[in-house]
Structure 1
Amino acid sequence: MKQTMTNLKQLIRAGRGIVPAHTVIVNGNLVNVMTSEIYKADVAIYEDTIVAVGEVKDYIGEDTKVIDADNKYLVPGLIDGHIHSECSKLSITSFAKAVVPCGTTSMISDLDEYISVSGLEGLNEIFEEVKASPLKVFWGAPYKTPYTFPQSTVSYNFTKEVHENVQKWPECFGVWETVREAVTEEDENTLGAIVEASKNRLPVFGCAPMARGKELNGYLCSGVRLDHESYDHEEVVEKMRKGMHMLIRESSVTHFLKENIRAVTEVNPYLARRVSFCTDDVTATDVLEKGHLDNLVRLAIKEGVEPMTAIQMATINSAEAYRIDHLVGSISPGRIADILFVDDINTFNVEKVITNGKLVAENGRLSYELRAPKRSSVLTSQLKCKKTTKEDFEYKVDIKDGKAKVLSMNVKGPFVRKRRDVVLDVKDGIVQPDINKDVLMVSVLERFGRNGNKSLAFCSGWKLKKGAMASSAAPDDNNIIVMGADAEDMSIAVNHLIENGGGQVVVADGKVMEFLPLPVGGIASDLEPAEIARLENIINKAANELGCELPEPLMYMFFLPITAIPDYAITDVGPVDCIALDTFDPILELMEN
């Protein structure tokens, strides 16, 4: 409820038992994450707010709905502390359908992918969608857009001047994912966002993979409160010893929990109270097969974390880290009524979900029909770029025939790309990709109609034997990324996306093998999670049939434009050295016959 004098008085009266509760939960075992206790307790709810915990018979009126918990454990709704839900290819509505039945009732996000394709106008449409959803989004204003160094092209640039406005919005709970390089390079828009946050007493959320020593010290002096990205448990320990809240990430492609939880299980158990969880980027397939935050709770327990501690990591720890514990994170009077019914805290199977005081999910499914809103042209506009030809994806050089020594961006997992020097043939002035040497062409095309940029470079690790694949969903800027062994197939893939308003596609021998449409901004879909999962599996299988052995071929590909990932990336302005924070020429040497 929006806070007014009238409803505040009603809540206080409800808390005193003067006004009857709308809903009462009886016969439950309360998991009190504030005190690390489990005990018998009932819960009284007025509208969307918990008003009493313990003995609540005096709160039951003639019209009060009574829910029997049947001795189940009552657990606070789970909080994903850092997620780009757009990377699931699910709209907010579809994403809620997937994760709320798993017990995730809140997430912290900047919704930056929507901003990159539709600006503040599209963002406000998403805010309205969130209001109709059982899933809460605590929005952090992106420290800037685009996130890339050097700056790539997006439809809307988030600047320090924008922060002066949006940080005053009621939806804003902080500054999101402030990357270390932006701070240490003293980027004006980034520092401006931090200064504005200080004025507004908002927390600053961080992103500092592999930050240690002096670099970490300088970063922390900017006021960053927490971080979600550490590559080993020693990094976690150093950051926590220097005062940070830490989020342990377990995404669909980056499995860091097993390593990073060692900070708690092996180094210092007292660190646990300032550790929380996030998934960052997940697929519909992964959520439907494994679960969401509930899966992280189970994984932590498997690694030796006590069930109560694991539950705290998924609830109150995250709420406190983001300064939203007065709203969510515990089953306490005055908090929003987000409550899970769990069979056993050791196995952590979520049976029922209450959000905002209403039962919304049972046995792994929403218990009511949730419909996506009608989309305006802001979020359904076409890709604003010209059709391509095969010549757009041929790397031309100044010699006719010979050899070219090139730098190929070699994927070593989704969030590491290393340098690989390879000698390729040059024929008729064109550097030839080589499937036998595992070298493909990769390109990013600006798709917002702003400048028509196209880049071209070389990559390794996907092992395609032929064909191409492309995606208009590609964080951080969501331009079109295409990769392939054949320039003609690359052109067909890009043109198919342009013709169909965005999505993901796999092409071979001049024909479209599979296509996953993403009509919401070219990055998401309102389809049911199970249908998106089916299409994900089909399109990944198509990439596998072309020779790719990676577990998520298109997801690995669409991470390539992220310049915060070491050591190399590619955006519409060119291939990027992520250490030097500048573009580079992938042609190292030419040798003419």
Structure 2
Amino acid sequence: MKQTVTNLKQLIRAGRGIIPAHTVILNGTLVNVMTSEVYKADVAIYEDTIVAVGDVTDYIGDETKTINAEGKFLVPGLIDGHIHSECSKLSITSYAKAVVPCGTTSMISGLDEYISVSGLEGLQEVFDEIKLSPLKVFWGAPYKTPYTFPQSTVAFNFTKEVHENVQKWTECFGVWETVREYVTEEDEDTLGAIAEAAKNRLPIFGCAPMARGKELNGYLCAGIRLDHESYDHEEVVEKMRKGMHMLIRESSVTHFLKENIRAVTEVNPALARRVSFCTDDVTAGDVLEKGHLDNLVRLAIKEGVEPMVAIQMATINSAEAYRIDHLVGSISPGRIADILLVDGIETFNVETVITNGKLVAKDGKLAYELKAPKRSAVLTSELKCAKTTKEDFEYRVEIENGKAKVLSMDVKGPFVRKRRDVVLEVKDGIVQPDTEQDVLMVSVLERFGRNGNKSLAFCSGWKLKKGAMASSAAPDDNNIIVMGASAEDMSIAVNHLIENGGGQVVVADGEVIEFLPLPVGGIASDLEPEEIARLDKMINKAANDLGCDLPEPLMYMFFLPITAIPDYAITDVGPVDCIALNTFNPILELIENK
């Protein structure tokens, strides 16, 4: 409920038992994450707020609804501490259908992918959608958009002047994903956002992969509160010893929990109370198959974390890290009534989900029909770029025939690209991709009608033997990214996305093999999670059939424009050296035939 004097009076009276509760949960066993205790207790709820925990006999009226939790454990709703739900290709509505039945009732997000394609107007539509959803979103205003360095092209640029406005919005709970390089390079917009947050007493959420020593110290001097990016447990320990809250990430493609939890299980158990969980980027198929944060709780327990501690990591720890523990994170009077009924704290299977005081999911499914809102033109997916030809994806050089030594961005995991020097043939003035050497062409095309930028470079690690694949969903800027062994197939793939308003596509021998439409901003869909999971599986299989052996071929590809993680990336402004923070020429040397 919105807090007014009238509402506060009602809540206080409900808390004192003067007026009856609307709902009570009886006969359950409370998991008290505040005191690390487990004991029998009932819960009374008035509207959307917990008003009593313990003996609630005096809170029951003639019209009070009862939920029998006999044999079940009462756990606070789970909180995902850092998530780009857009990367699942599910709209907010569809995403809620997937994760709420798993017990995730809150997430912290910048909704930055929506902002990059639709600006503040589109963001307001997403806020309206969230209000209709059982999933809470605690929004952090992105420190800037885009996150790329040098700056790539997006539909809307988040600047320090924008922060002066949006940080005063009731939806704003902090500054989101403040990338280290922008702090240490003293970017004016980033420092302006941080300075504005100091005025508004808002926390700064970080993003500092591999930050250690002096670089970490300088970063922390900007007032960064927490981080979700650590590549090993030593990095976690250093960051925590220097005062940070740490989020352990376990996404669909970055499986860091097993390594990073060692900070707690091997180095210092006392660190646990300032460790929480996030998933960052997940696929619909993974959520449906494994679960969401409930899966992270089970994984942590498997790695030797005590069940109570693992549950704290998924609830109160995250709430405290983000300064929202007065609202969520525990089953306590005055908190929002987000409560799970689970079978046991060791097994942690979520059976019933209550959000805002209402039963919304049971036995893995939503308990009611949730419909997506009607989409306006702001969040439609027109790609404002010209059709391409195969010539757009041919790398032309000054010699007619010979050899070209090139720098190929070699994928070593979803977020790591290393330098690989390769010698390629030059025929008729065009550098030839080489599937035998596992070298493909890759390009990013600006799709917002702002400048028509196109880039072109070389990449390795996908092992496509022919064809191409493309996506209009590609954080951090969501321009079109296309990769392939054939310039003609690359052009067909891009043109198919333009003709169909965005999505993901695989092409071979001049034919579209699979297509996954993404009509919400070109980055998401209102389809059911099960249908997106099916289409995901089909399009990844199509890439696998062309030779790719990566677990998520298109997700690995659409992470290529992220410049925040070393060593190489590509955006619409060109291939990027993520260490030097500038673009580079992938042609290292040309040797003409004599």
| TM-score for both structures, normalised by structure 2 | 1.00
Aligned twin of 2:487 = 487
- Structure 2 contact 52–332 (Cα < 8 Å) conserved: yes
- Deviation track 1:337-376 (CA, whole Å, cap 9, x = no partner) reads 0000000110100000000000000000000000000000
- Unaligned ranges ≥5, structure 2: none
Aligned twin of 1:301 = 301
Aligned twin of 2:446 = 446
Aligned twin of 1:212 = 212
1:465 aligns with 2:465: yes
Q: Which one-letter code corresponds to 1:471 in the other structure? A: S
Aligned twin of 1:239 = 239
For residues 368 and 448 of structure 1, the distance between their equivalents in structure 2, rounded to whole angstroms, comes to 37
Aligned twin of 1:540 = 540
- Structure 2 contact 297–314 (Cα < 8 Å) conserved: yes
For residues 37 and 69 of structure 2, the distance between their equivalents in structure 1, rounded to whole angstroms, comes to 18
For residues 204 and 67 of structure 2, the distance between their equivalents in structure 1, rounded to whole angstroms, comes to 40
Aligned twin of 1:19 = 19
For residues 404 and 4 of structure 2, the distance between their equivalents in structure 1, rounded to whole angstroms, comes to 69
- Deviation track 1:377-399 (CA, whole Å, cap 9, x = no partner) reads 00014100000000000000000
For residue 168 of structure 2, give the secondary structure of its aligned residue in structure 1.
Answer: coil
Deviates more, 1:247-256 or 1:375-384: 375-384
- Deviation track 1:211-268 (CA, whole Å, cap 9, x = no partner) reads 0000000000000000000000000000000000000000000000000000000000
For residue 202 of structure 1, give the secondary structure of its aligned residue in structure 2.
Answer: coil
Any residues of structure 2 matched to 1:305-454 within 5 Å, and which?
305-454=305-454
Any residues of structure 2 matched to 1:4-403 within 5 Å, and which?
4-403=4-403
Q: Give percent identity, aligned residues only.
A: 89
Q: Which one-letter code corresponds to 1:227 in the other structure? A: D
For residues 70 and 427 of structure 2, the distance between their equivalents in structure 1, rounded to whole angstroms, comes to 74
Task: Kindly state the Cα deviation for residue 70 of structure 1 after the two structures are TM-superposed.
Answer: 1.4
For residues 211 and 413 of structure 2, the distance between their equivalents in structure 1, rounded to whole angstroms, comes to 19
For residue 27 of structure 2, give the secondary structure of its aligned residue in structure 1.
Answer: strand
- Unaligned ranges ≥5, structure 1: none
For residues 419 and 288 of structure 2, the distance between their equivalents in structure 1, rounded to whole angstroms, comes to 36
For residues 29 and 554 of structure 1, the distance between their equivalents in structure 2, rounded to whole angstroms, comes to 44
For residue 61 of structure 2, give the secondary structure of its aligned residue in structure 1.
Answer: coil
- Deviation track 1:414-455 (CA, whole Å, cap 9, x = no partner) reads 010000000000000000000000000000000000000000
Q: Which one-letter code corresponds to 1:583 in the other structure? A: T
- Deviation track 1:26-72 (CA, whole Å, cap 9, x = no partner) reads 00000000000000000000000000000000000010001100120
For residues 314 and 47 of structure 1, the distance between their equivalents in structure 2, rounded to whole angstroms, comes to 25
For residue 237 of structure 1, give the secondary structure of its aligned residue in structure 2.
Answer: helix
For residue 34 of structure 1, give the secondary structure of its aligned residue in structure 2.
Answer: coil
For residues 488 and 270 of structure 1, the distance between their equivalents in structure 2, rounded to whole angstroms, comes to 58
For residue 296 of structure 1, give the secondary structure of its aligned residue in structure 2.
Answer: helix
For residue 74 of structure 1, give the secondary structure of its aligned residue in structure 2.
Answer: strand
For residues 217 and 477 of structure 1, the distance between their equivalents in structure 2, rounded to whole angstroms, comes to 29
For residues 591 and 139 of structure 1, the distance between their equivalents in structure 2, rounded to whole angstroms, comes to 53
For residue 50 of structure 2, give the secondary structure of its aligned residue in structure 1.
Answer: strand
Q: Which one-letter code corresponds to 1:47 in the other structure? A: E
For residues 447 and 222 of structure 1, the distance between their equivalents in structure 2, rounded to whole angstroms, comes to 34
- Structure 2 contact 562–569 (Cα < 8 Å) conserved: yes
For residues 565 and 536 of structure 1, the distance between their equivalents in structure 2, rounded to whole angstroms, comes to 25
For residue 8 of structure 2, give the secondary structure of its aligned residue in structure 1.
Answer: helix
1:561 aligns with 2:561: yes
For residue 308 of structure 1, give the secondary structure of its aligned residue in structure 2.
Answer: helix
For residues 47 and 300 of structure 2, the distance between their equivalents in structure 1, rounded to whole angstroms, comes to 34
For residues 303 and 316 of structure 1, the distance between their equivalents in structure 2, rounded to whole angstroms, comes to 20
For residues 397 and 382 of structure 1, the distance between their equivalents in structure 2, rounded to whole angstroms, comes to 33
- Deviation track 1:274-324 (CA, whole Å, cap 9, x = no partner) reads 000000000000000000000000000000000000000000000000000
Q: Over aligned residue pairs, what C-alpha RMSD do you find? A: 0.3
Q: Which one-letter code corresponds to 1:562 in the other structure? A: I
Task: Kindly state the Cα deviation for residue 565 of structure 1 after the two structures are TM-superposed.
Answer: 1.5
For residues 505 and 385 of structure 1, the distance between their equivalents in structure 2, rounded to whole angstroms, comes to 17
For residues 415 and 33 of structure 1, the distance between their equivalents in structure 2, rounded to whole angstroms, comes to 34
Q: Which one-letter code corresponds to 2:33 in the other structure? A: V
For residues 66 and 300 of structure 1, the distance between their equivalents in structure 2, rounded to whole angstroms, comes to 33
| TM-score for both structures, normalised by structure 1 | 1.00
Q: Which one-letter code corresponds to 2:284 in the other structure? A: A
Any residues of structure 2 matched to 1:481-520 within 5 Å, and which?
481-520=481-520
Aligned twin of 1:584 = 584
For residues 335 and 581 of structure 1, the distance between their equivalents in structure 2, rounded to whole angstroms, comes to 45
For residues 422 and 347 of structure 2, the distance between their equivalents in structure 1, rounded to whole angstroms, comes to 50
For residue 425 of structure 1, give the secondary structure of its aligned residue in structure 2.
Answer: strand
For residues 342 and 169 of structure 1, the distance between their equivalents in structure 2, rounded to whole angstroms, comes to 36
Q: Which one-letter code corresponds to 2:186 in the other structure? A: E
Q: Which one-letter code corresponds to 1:405 in the other structure? A: K
For residues 250 and 557 of structure 1, the distance between their equivalents in structure 2, rounded to whole angstroms, comes to 19
- Deviation track 1:58-106 (CA, whole Å, cap 9, x = no partner) reads 0000100011001200000000000000000000000000000000000
